Chain A
Amino acid sequence: MSAILDHPPAVAGHHSPGLWLLAWRRLRHDRVGMVSLVIVVFFLLLMTASYMGLVASDWSQEKGVSYANPSFLAGAENLEAKAMEQRAKAAKAPPVDLSDVDPLAPRYKEWEERAKKIAVTEVKRSETLPLGGDKWGRDVLKKAIKGSEVSIFVGLSSALLATLIGTVLGAFAGYWGGKVNDFLEWFYNIFTSIPYILLILAFAAVATSTGKFGKGIVPIVLVLSLTGWTGIYRLIRAEYIKHANREYVKAAQAIGASNNSRMFHHILPNVSHVALVQLSQYTVGFIKAEVILSFLGFGVPVDMVSWGTMLAEAQNELVIGKWWQLAAAGLSMAVLVTAFSLLTDSLRDALDPKLR
């Protein structure tokens, strides 16, 4: 009697571990998945460090000569840098006098004096850089790191926004059905009838021409998410249709939960694994899309670097034998995307063992 009463905690605490804990356990045993996770986490840490300025913050400084060779190719010929050195100063004719028409003329003397006092520092440029330099002499290694930060950030934020849009719309369509569903289905059909490339181009062209879409990476994030939400919409809507009629939802209704509460408080946690997998697939897709957009000129702005801008620059460099920017961007992107994709696969396997 008392023995039983003495051990209520054991009874109450014995519930099956949640979906996430089970998934985590399964993931732990997946070797490929774990390796991928480590790689992805490494990139994310790198990204954070880069964002906080701990590494590669001076990526835009021109430490090297133009097209500096990578250290492992130290002896190779660098015609571009030589060409720069040899630009001899041509003999100059005396400059023309502007003092009679120049509005600045009254203060010429003061100007001369001030100019003398300002020091100009000459920076010594190095012949080689660890992974070579680009045409300005910027360190390719640092560009690759900073580029990873920007590309991953663009990919992740676009994916988050797209997932958000698709999930909310999918939830409404699947849960409410009827006219709401019809309207959203119509909306979905419009976006999926137009070929993706045309849709992206159209949005990108519009986003860049008017300044109203914001500055920096905001336009490209908006373009990617506003055109890419359709996949997850479909999935989430299907899930909501399935779940909306389940027992636990009816139970929630019985205890007086509002529609919103039922949609987002009760059902959503049960479909979140679908959203998560889709989110990571989107990240990969959008990182790749950013490269294409940058090639077309719709990518990140001039004062930033991304894998896309590096590859766009590298286009003409291969023919003249400068392969390191192509390699650095191509490889770091390949590693991250591969790791992310494999992680997505493992995640999906872990979350739903039926799909082996």
Chain B
Amino acid sequence: MTAYVIRRVWQMIPTIFGVILLIFILFNWVGGDPAQVLAGKISNPDQIANIRRQLGVDQPYWVQLLIFVKQVFTFDFGRSWSTNEEVSHIILTRVGPTLTIMLPVLFITTGLSVLFAVLVAYVRGTLTDRMVMIACTVAMSISFLVYIIVFQWLFGFILGWFPVQGWSESFWKNLTYYAPLPIMLAVFVGVAPELRLYRSFFLDEIHQDYVRTARAKGVPEKGVMLKHVMRNALIPILTNVGIALPGVFVGSFLLEVFFSVPGLGREVVTAVNRSDFPVIKAVTVYLAIITMVINLLVDVMYKFVDPRVSFK
């Protein structure tokens, strides 16, 4: 297995290079000139050229590309072009708020979805099942934007149950006071698609032969569900969670913008708007690496959960 892991890590390198290339083409070649933003109200071409020199964007493309590659391997992307903050500092400080919201969202959503999926799979084929499925579909058809606007207005403003927006220094205050409304929103919106998906996983398992065997043996239905079906359905469920994991780090920028949470998602959107290349580069590369590492971990975990799986 070590050989497998090593091979996978080795295969990551060309992908990372591809990511670097793509981002470079998009932003260096086609993207906006950050010197314009930094130059302020009155400036002359001289000043702009000066700024470009300071930022290093006046060098030939291949030089800039090489610098980029070097940055990836030394994990030093320099400073943000708009706030002059160290990029690594930006990422480290923004990840906290994003995770404060996204991790609870992940746990609660997965927990609730699995629970409901089991219940619905238990009563599969009945009217309840159909109704729940349709309710999910309807819930999924409303745009997240609409949910945010309405929830913020309803719960924050009209009912006053939660603060409309904001963030603080204290982790506990954030978790218990500022985060609940965004978390609630994300969970509400996230459960529906997961529920559908997990239900289909459970149903896949239920139709397998071994389930019929278990029933024939006289195992009560509840036992069948909990002991057999659940354990086997856990694999695709965990795979799904694994796929969602990298997204947790970027967070939902919509939530962050509307609720003024100083998180990574909002930071990324601002960076793209300002052509703040160092931040964009760093976030993209780090996230690409995280994604690949998580995929590898999920695959390795497969092996432990299901001994039948072998590595090519």
Contacts and interface: CB of A to CB of B under 8 A. Distances in A.
Interface of A: 32, 186-187, 189-190, 192-198, 201-203, 205-206, 209-210, 284, 288, 291-292, 295-296, 307, 311-312, 314-315, 318-319, 326, 330, 333-338, 341-342, 345, 355-356
B32 A209 contact: yes
Interface in B262-283: 265, 268-269, 272-273, 280, 283
A338 B291 contact: no
Top-5 shortest CB links A-B: A337-B141, A193-B288, A190-B18, A338-B141, A189-B15
Chain B contact residues, majority secondary structure: helix
B142 A292 contact: no
Contact of B157 (A189, A319, A338): A319
Contacts of B15: 186, 189-190, 193
B138 A194 contact: no
Nearest to A190: B18
A315 B258 CA distance: 11
A333 B140 contact: no
Interface in B101-146: 130, 133-134, 137-138, 140-146
B18 A189 contact: yes
Given A187-B18, A198-B287, A342-B134, A203 B145 contact: no
A206 B291 contact: no
Contact of A202 (B141, B153, B272): B272
A333 B147 CA distance: 13
Given A194-B19, A194-B287, A202-B23, A318 B30 contact: no
B141 A318 contact: no
A314 B280 CA distance: 30
A201 B27 CA distance: 11
Given A209-B32, A319-B153, A288 B143 contact: yes
5 contacts: A187-B18, A193-B19, A198-B280, A326-B146, A338-B134
Contact of B203 (A32, A186, A198, A356): A356
A191 to B, nearest CB: 8
B250 A315 contact: no
A333 B22 CA distance: 34
Given A193-B15, A338-B137, A291 B265 contact: no
Contact of A201 (B16, B145, B272): B272
A342 B247 CA distance: 27
B288 A194 contact: yes
Given A195-B247, A209-B30, A291-B143, 16 more contacts: A193-B15, A193-B291, A194-B23, A202-B272, A205-B31, A209-B31, A288-B143, A291-B145, A315-B149, A318-B153, A319-B157, A326-B149, A330-B142, A330-B143, A334-B138, A341-B137
A300 B94 CA distance: 31
Contacts of B27: 202, 206
Contacts of B253: 197
B298 interface: no
B65 interface: no
Interface string B149-182: 1100100010000000000000000000000000
B157 A190 contact: no
Most buried by B among A189, A311, A334: A189
A202 B137 contact: no
B214 to A, nearest CB: 20
Contacts of A318: 149-150, 153
Nearest to A201: B272
B309 interface: no
Nearest to B125: A356
A341 B134 CA distance: 9
A345 B19 CA distance: 35
A197 B19 contact: no
Nearest to A297: B273
Most buried by A among B143, B145, B265, B272: B143
B45 interface: no
B55 interface: no
B246 interface: yes
Contacts of B273: 205
Interface in B175-215: 200, 203, 207
A198 B268 contact: yes
A18 to B, nearest CB: 26
